[in-house]
Structure 1
Amino acid sequence: MFGARLKDIRLSRKLKLKELAALTGIDVTLISRFERGDRMPTKNQLLLLSEQLGVSLAELKKEWLADKVVALLQYEPMAMEALQVAESRVEYLTSKKVHDAPQLSDELQAKLDRADDLRKRWRQAQPLGPSQLRRLHEFFDIEYTFESNRIEGNTLTLQETALVVNEGLTIGGKSMREHLEVINHSEAIGFVRDLVLGKEDLSRRVVMEIHRLILKEVDNENAGRHRKVPVRISGSDTELPQPYLLEKLMEDYFEYYELHSKRLHPIILSAEMHERLVSIHPFVDGNGRTSRLVMNLILMSRGYTRANIKGDTQSRLAYYRALQQVQKNANPDPFYHLVADEVIRSLEQHLELV
């Protein structure tokens, strides 16, 4: 146990409780509770203890994390089964293998080549006149907001979504939350477009701000903040990381992006960053919408039009199944194909309208 280990180390250093308290600045009563197992230190307190006791942070943290897992699962009858499921998911999210560049099939490479050819044609169609560009943005923004929210269960129709965004109307029989989801998503799209115009890259600040916009006035307490509670995906048996793992997983997330942002094909990179964020599930709500906006930030900043995954039942199921292939079987290929298909469809639609 962490508390027993902490006490053993302190006694081996011939330190009294009050002496360790003076060295760390942690209240003596609190340290006593750590040692009895009545209280767990914060990450910052753990660091202070490791420094003043002359023991590696990794050694203390291993015991600290083990106690957290035990506290969570000790009374669960299916604890061992849950640990086995979680082990494979955490291994996928943290292993060195997931930092390697993926191998692409010939079929997928052909789709990427097709998308690149369409992107070239789209860029040759520029510059569009201001009014034409504005109309294109309005058309695709509304459709994207409608579909992305529909995936998450929003019941506003495409026409109703347009009325809420463009006219500020209130739709009878629809909840305030559904109206706010539409308004917020529309604002988040505008934020992403401003990032593209300003050439601002993906970062922790960007992800948190996108999420803040998604949940603004819907859940201000959790908007732009990592979750502090365990969550489950409705209708899925996928085990999600516990809150105490999120900080490290998000560090790995941005490390992966730094490593591969110029090495992977943009479509593959956008799919990876989408899937990884959904799988980490760092937020109480809004993970899907935030992940899809991150995907499109990557695509748009590299000259593609945004991919708009549909929210009808068949498309939504295909989307969830493709994500589960990565999460359960470490097979990203179906998800790569899904994103590539959506990018191609989007580019073809943009070219047709031009």
Structure 2
Amino acid sequence: MIRNLLRNGRVEKNLKLKELAAQADIDQTLLSRFEKGSRMPTEKQLNVLGEILGLDMRAARVEWMADKLVGMVQYHPEAMEALRVAESRVEYLTSKKVLDSPSLSEGLALKLEKLDALKAQWAARPVLSPSQLHRMHAFFDVEYTYESNRIEGNTLSLQETALVVNEGLTIGGKSMREHLEVINHSEAIAFVRGIVERKEDLGRRSLMEIHRLILKEVDTANAGRYRQVPVRISGSETELPQPYMLDKLMEDYFEYYEVHRLRLHPVILAAEMHERLVSIHPFIDGNGRTARLVMNLILLRNGYTRANIKGNTESRMHYYRALQSIQEDNNPEPFYQLVTDESLRSIQAHLELI
């Protein structure tokens, strides 16, 4: 129990409660309650105390999490069932199984063949002039910004989004946050395009910069930073990792990319990196927009056009259900199908435009 670790650590350091309270800047009465087990320290308080007492922080976090879990479920008759469900979700996120290559159904493989044939047509297109290229980017960028923000609840219409992006106008009756979300997303698309043009790969630096742009002036303190607090997804039962797990999970995330970027079909890799990011949920906000930009960075990097998942109610629910089929049932097929279908629609639209 964490109370025993804290008390034994203090005794071994020959510290009185008053002395430890002064060093940790934690109320002495609260420290006493930690040691008695009547109160639990926050993760930040645990880290401070662990550093002062020289605790094995991995062991301390395990005990801390175990105590929290017991406190949550000890009086519930469904406790064991809930723990089994949580165990399967944590195993998916932390085990080496997440480095395995996924298998594809015959139907999905045929779709990918069709997509690759269209990709070849796209690659063989006539060279576009700078003005043609600019107009094409402007058309698809505005639509993508509109749909991606719409998924997250932004109420600006497609026309209003275009006016904000292209004319710098302010739309009456709409919040400053909604305007910033449009401007930020447009800048993030330009950043992603720059990565592709420079032939750079996805990495921690590029991910953090994408997220920084998404939250710039919306939540500057958390822009481009992993979250420091636990979060839940509204309306979802999916358990999200605790903050102390994020560094390791994100190391695994980038390891997966390095292992599979030359092994998986690029569309499947894009879908995987999208889903894995939202399942880890490393940021306090902006995870969905960032994950979709990461997906499209990978698609563009490999010669495809952007997959633009629609934000209307039916499409949004289909998108959420496809993600949940992986997170809850470990079935990636619906999400692979969704990303492939959107990639097909996108490349067909691009070919028709030129």
Q: TM-score range by the shorter chain?
A: 0.7 to 0.9
Q: Is the 8 A contact 1:270 1:299 kept in 2?
A: yes
State the match for 2:311 in structure 1. Answer: 311
Q: Is the 8 A contact 1:46 1:61 kept in 2?
A: no
Cα deviation for residue 231 of structure 1 reads 2.0
Which blocks of at least 5 consecutive residues in structure 2 are unaligned? 16-21
Give, in whole Å, the separation in 2 of the partners of 1:100 and 1:137.
Answer: 36
Which amino acid in 1 is paired with 2:202? L
Q: For 1:19-168, what aligned pairs fall within 5 Å after superposition?
A: 40-42=45-47, 45=50, 49=54, 59-67=59-67, 69-70=69-70, 82-168=82-168
Matched, 1:17 2:17: no
Which amino acid in 2 is paired with 1:42? N
Cα deviation for residue 258 of structure 1 reads 1.4
Cα deviation 1:67-108 (Å, max 9, x = unaligned): 454567779897666544322211111122221000111111
Cα deviation for residue 169 of structure 1 reads 0.6
**Partner-residue secondary structure (3-state), 2:221:** coil
Give, in whole Å, the separation in 2 of the partners of 1:10 and 1:232.
Answer: 34
Give, in whole Å, the separation in 1 of the partners of 2:263 and 2:343.
Answer: 19
Cα deviation for residue 198 of structure 1 reads 1.2
Which amino acid in 2 is paired with 1:66? A
Give, in whole Å, the separation in 1 of the partners of 2:74 and 2:245.
Answer: 18
Give, in whole Å, the separation in 1 of the partners of 2:109 and 2:352.
Answer: 24
Q: Is the 8 A contact 1:211 1:224 kept in 2?
A: yes
Per the alignment, do residues 206 and 272 of structure 1 end up closer, same or farther by CA in structure 2, a change over 3 Å counting? same
Cα deviation for residue 8 of structure 1 reads 5.6
Stretch deviating more after TM superposition (253-262 or 181-190): 253-262
Matched, 1:296 2:301: no
TM-score, normalisation: structure 1: 0.86
Per the alignment, do residues 329 and 47 of structure 1 end up closer, same or farther by CA in structure 2, a change over 3 Å counting? farther
Give, in whole Å, the separation in 2 of the partners of 1:79 and 1:226.
Answer: 30
Stretch deviating more after TM superposition (38-47 or 238-247): 38-47
Identity of aligned residues (%): 66
Q: Is the 8 A contact 1:150 1:311 kept in 2?
A: yes
Per the alignment, do residues 28 and 129 of structure 1 end up closer, same or farther by CA in structure 2, a change over 3 Å counting? closer
Which amino acid in 2 is paired with 1:282? P
Give, in whole Å, the separation in 2 of the partners of 1:184 and 1:73.
Answer: 41
State the match for 2:18 in structure 1. Answer: none
Cα deviation for residue 228 of structure 1 reads 2.2
Cα deviation for residue 63 of structure 1 reads 2.9
State the match for 2:223 in structure 1. Answer: 223
Cα deviation for residue 203 of structure 1 reads 1.0
State the match for 1:247 in structure 2. Answer: 247
Which amino acid in 1 is paired with 2:224? G
Cα deviation for residue 57 of structure 1 reads 6.5
Cα deviation for residue 10 of structure 1 reads 9.0
Which blocks of at least 5 consecutive residues in structure 1 are unaligned? 19-25, 51-55
Stretch deviating more after TM superposition (117-126 or 238-247): 238-247
Give, in whole Å, the separation in 2 of the partners of 1:47 and 1:102.
Answer: 45
Give, in whole Å, the separation in 2 of the partners of 1:244 and 1:58.
Answer: 10
Per the alignment, do residues 61 and 193 of structure 1 end up closer, same or farther by CA in structure 2, a change over 3 Å counting? same
Cα deviation for residue 319 of structure 1 reads 0.5
Q: Is the 8 A contact 1:214 1:290 kept in 2?
A: yes
TM-score, normalisation: structure 2: 0.86
Cα deviation for residue 255 of structure 1 reads 1.4
Cα deviation for residue 64 of structure 1 reads 4.5
Give, in whole Å, the separation in 2 of the partners of 1:209 and 1:80.
Answer: 41
Stretch deviating more after TM superposition (305-314 or 76-85): 76-85
Per the alignment, do residues 233 and 62 of structure 1 end up closer, same or farther by CA in structure 2, a change over 3 Å counting? closer
Cα deviation for residue 161 of structure 1 reads 0.4
Aligned length: 340
